[in-house]
């Protein structure tokens, strides 16, 4: 429904109650529009709220009840940021609409300038435009070019007056809505209360559709990201499957070392595995021994790639399946299940990248509430708990504050990786099986992830110290032992399965 010019004029007449008050806050509304909180200069408590909404079929300027105020911290849109910076604590001098028109002008005065917020409330391209005292555009909800450009710095040109009667194919002009339920607000502002209650279902549908679109986009982005990672892992696995043949070629070169000479770019040798002859590429800059070692190095690289890819595939396949199901579930949600959509919105839209400083502050707050916040938690085959740090600060907290002196501390040898702690009861010692499970995790959450063989250092936590003034995660180890482990993909998969999926499983710490 389109509000008639007469109805809009009477809504603005009620909104004049806010004239002479100061802007205390401005917020985006879930269904669109901007909500202004006004109060007298001598009382900072919000007295009135005025909604400026430019949306086809729902555009209006009206007072709204206190219950409509935003309840949670918002992420301001660019237009809202400008409004807050220019109109906060500004005085509403006047708010007017010409008879028969649908362009509302709210005039504000601050200590340094005079500004006007213009609400163009007709047609499909409704808009909110903020202009200065010289009628130059400061900001707008919708920027556009054309015969009447709307862009910062341009001189504002008023739109042509809309026709007195709507076009035959336009939405019908609404008459007065039914009265709103009795309340203190409806008693004082009956028309504003009635319009708010009347258009509330339309606003709710719009808010639901907008939220669903944002949530679905976030879920599809996550699915595309994980699907891409899975595709890369499968491609790496296919490439890594050439490792066996590459090692055979290296063996052929080593067995027929006597035919190799410096400066050769290729060599024909007997294929000891497939029969016949095979032509192998060489680096003419390398001597024969270095060329043989280069082939073995290539084989080892492909083997590591295949091992890493196999683990990534095991990790990512269930993740892709979950995101596929999540997208399908969100697509099927209708407005009767708005609470279910809100749950997805909380999960998918609230998690946004933070600066390192904000991440540190958040980590400290979470640690104060939950000592295990930010840590990965697993179980060894025996049931013993294994804790793994995510970030440098998590590693620092795990080692210096959470781990007990008798707990076993593990870290990949000579590489960057997460701190790992195997929890032990007082007086108990670690079993070899539990050490292997913890060592597999130390290797997995390190720069050696996927390596066929690696070394993991381990020691009781009491022998690990943090030097004074050292950066988070940096430690010195007084004494330790080294555990050499071979990658056991199935065993690692079993250990990883003891913990739920996490958002940062690819991180490796200090």
Phi, psi of 152 (to 5 degrees): -55, 135
Structure-token pair, residue 483: 């555990």
Host domain of residue 49: 2-175
Q: What is the pLDDT of residue 315?
A: 85
Tell whether 435 and 364 lie within a shared domain.
yes
Number of domains in the chain: 3
Tell whether 55 and 99 lie within a shared domain.
yes
Q: CB-based contacts of 376: which residues, under 8 Å, 6+ apart?
A: 387, 388, 389, 390, 418, 445, 499, 502, 505
Tell whether 232 and 167 lie within a shared domain.
no
Q: Give me the count of residues in the chain.
A: 510
How distant is the alpha carbon of residue 354 from its chain centre? Answer: 9
Is residue 505 in some structural domain? no
Structure-token pair, residue 251: 């063996």
Tell whether 279 and 364 lie within a shared domain.
no
Q: Give SS3 for 266.
A: strand
Per-residue DSSP letter, 16: G
Tell whether 22 and 169 lie within a shared domain.
yes
Whether the model pTM is above 0.85? no
H helices of 184-287, in order, are: 184-188, 190-240, 243-255
Helix count and strand count (H, E) for the chain? 11, 21
The residue from 145, 175, 205 where one domain ends is 175
Rounded to whole angstroms, how far apart are CA atoms 108 and 34? 15
Tell whether 108 and 132 lie within a shared domain.
yes
How many CB atoms are located within 10 Å of the residue 418 CB? 28
Is residue 446 in some structural domain? yes
Is residue 162 in some structural domain? yes
How distant is the alpha carbon of residue 269 from its chain centre? Answer: 55
Rounded to whole angstroms, how far apart are CA atoms 285 and 279? 18
Tell whether 434 and 484 lie within a shared domain.
yes
Tell whether 395 and 423 lie within a shared domain.
yes
Is residue 196 in some structural domain? no
Tell whether 324 and 368 lie within a shared domain.
no
pLDDT, one tens digit for every residue, the chain (510 residues): 567 888 999 999 999 999 999 999 999 887 888 999 999 999 888 899 999 999 887 889 999 997 544 554 557 888 999 999 999 999 999 999 988 888 999 999 998 899 999 999 988 889 999 999 999 999 999 998 888 899 999 999 988 765 555 554 445 445 678 888 899 999 999 999 999 888 888 888 888 888 899 899 999 999 999 999 999 999 988 888 898 899 999 999 999 999 999 999 999 999 999 889 999 999 999 999 999 999 999 999 888 888 888 888 988 899 999 999 999 999 999 888 888 888 888 878 765 544 455 555 555 555 555 567 778 999 998 989 999 998 888 899 899 989 988 899 999 988 889 999 999 988 888 999 999 999 999 999 998 888 888 999 999 999 999 888 788 888 889 889 999 998 888 899 889 888 744 333 444 455
Tell whether 333 and 381 lie within a shared domain.
no
55: nearest Cα among 128, 4, 146 = 128
Is residue 509 in some structural domain? no
CA atoms within 13 A on the CB side of 55: 17
Place of tokens 């918002």: 74
Is residue 194 in some structural domain? no
Q: Provide the pairing of β-strand 376-379 with 385-388.
A: antiparallel
Rounded to whole angstroms, how far apart are CA atoms 204 and 339? 12
Is residue 191 in some structural domain? no
Q: Are 205 and 34 in contact (CB under 8 A)?
A: no
Is residue 252 in some structural domain? yes
Tell whether 317 and 377 lie within a shared domain.
no
Tell whether 241 and 384 lie within a shared domain.
no
Q: Give SS3 for 76.
A: coil
The residue from 348, 369, 384 where one domain ends is 348
The residue from 330, 348, 366 where one domain ends is 348
């Amino acid at each position: 429904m389109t509000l008639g010019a007469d109805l809009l004029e009477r809504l603005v007449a009620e909104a004049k109650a806010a004239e002479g008050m100061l802007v205390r806050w401005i917020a985006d509304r879930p269904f669109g529009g901007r909500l202004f909180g006004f109060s007298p200069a001598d009382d900072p408590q919000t007295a009135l709220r005025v909604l400026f909404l430019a949306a086809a079929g729902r555009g209006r300027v009206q007072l709204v009840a206190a219950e409509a105020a935003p309840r949670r911290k918002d992420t301001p849109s660019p237009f809202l940021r400008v409004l807050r910076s220019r109109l906060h604590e500004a005085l509403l001098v006047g708010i007017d609409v010409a008879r028969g028109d649908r362009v509302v002008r709210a005039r504000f005065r601050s200590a340094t300038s005079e500004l006007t917020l213009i609400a163009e409330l007709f047609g499909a391209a409704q808009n909110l435009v903020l202009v200065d005292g010289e009628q130059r555009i400061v900001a707008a909800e919708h920027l556009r070019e054309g015969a009447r450009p709307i862009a910062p710095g341009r001189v504002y040109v008023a739109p042509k007056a809309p026709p007195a009667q709507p076009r035959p194919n336009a939405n019908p002009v609404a008459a007065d809505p039914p009265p709103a339920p009795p309340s203190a607000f409806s008693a004082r502002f009956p028309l504003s209360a009635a319009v708010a209650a009347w258009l509330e279902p339309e606003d709710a549908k719009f808010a639901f559709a907008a939220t669903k679109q944002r949530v679905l986009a976030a879920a599809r982005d996550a699915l595309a990201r994980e699907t891409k990672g899975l595709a890369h892992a499968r491609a790496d696995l296919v490439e890594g499957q050439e490792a066996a043949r590459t090692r055979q070629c290296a063996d052929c070169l080593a067995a027929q070392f006597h035919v190799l000479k410096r400066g050769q770019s290729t060599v024909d040798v007997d294929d000891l595995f497939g029969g016949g002859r095979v032509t192998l590429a060489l680096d003419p800059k390398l001597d024969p021994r270095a060329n043989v070692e280069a082939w073995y190095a290539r084989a080892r690289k492909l083997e590591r790639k295949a091992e890493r890819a196999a683990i990534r595939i095991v990790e990512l396949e269930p993740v892709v399946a979950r995101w596929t199901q999540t997208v399908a579930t969100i697509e099927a949600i209708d407005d009767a299940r708005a609470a279910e959509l809100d749950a997805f919105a909380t999960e998918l839209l609230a998690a946004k990248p933070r600066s390192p400083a904000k991440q540190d502050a958040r980590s400290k707050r979470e640690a104060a509430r939950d000592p295990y916040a930010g840590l990965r938690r697993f179980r060894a085959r025996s049931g013993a708990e294994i804790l793994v740090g995510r970030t440098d600060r998590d590693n620092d907290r795990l080692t210096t504050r959470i781990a007990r002196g008798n707990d076993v501390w593990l870290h990949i040898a000579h590489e960057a990786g997460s701190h790992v702690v195997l929890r032990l009861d007082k007086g108990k010692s670690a079993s070899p099986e539990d050490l292997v499970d913890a060592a597999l995790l130390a290797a997995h959450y390190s720069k050696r992830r996927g390596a066929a063989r690696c070394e993991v250092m381990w020691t009781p936590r009491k022998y690990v110290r943090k030097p004074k003034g050292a950066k988070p995660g940096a430690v010195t180890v007084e004494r330790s032992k080294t555990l050499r482990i071979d990658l056991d993909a199935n065993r690692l998969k079993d250990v990883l399965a003891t913990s739920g999926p996490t958002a940062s499983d690819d991180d490796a710490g200090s």
